[in-house]
Amino acid sequence: MRRFIASIVLVVVGAAASPAFATDVINQDQKAYKITIVDGGYTSTKEVSARGSVYGLCGSGPCVFKIQGSEIKAGKDDKLVINGGKLKPM
């Protein structure tokens, strides 16, 4: 019985410690950008500074990411870079 309870506790703790995935955007440019994220019917914006990063965007995916002059569709666990004013998969 003790082993059974211990195994249940281990499973619950393991599930709680599982990482949550979400899209990350890394800006390699010397310019800051305003990113628009379209996640189904929900639209939000996020600022990313020059040479900065933003993490945890688009929890459900897939989402559309937009900056001026560039647009890309990405899944919830993808990583994107901004390079030369364009969004690209990493």
Task: Tell me what pLDDT residue 18 has.
Answer: 36
pLDDT at residue 10 tops 50: no
Alpha-carbon span 23 to 61, nearest angstrom:
8
pLDDT at residue 87 tops 90: yes
Q: What is the mean pLDDT of the chain?
A: 83
The CATH homologous superfamily to which domain 21-89 belongs is Domain of unknown function DUF5300 (2.60.40.2890)
Element (H, E) at 53: strand 53-57
Alpha-carbon span 52 to 82, nearest angstrom:
10
* For residues 65-81, average pLDDT: 94
Of 77 and 83, the structure prediction assigns the larger pLDDT to: 83
Domain ranges for the chain, please list them. Answer: 21-89
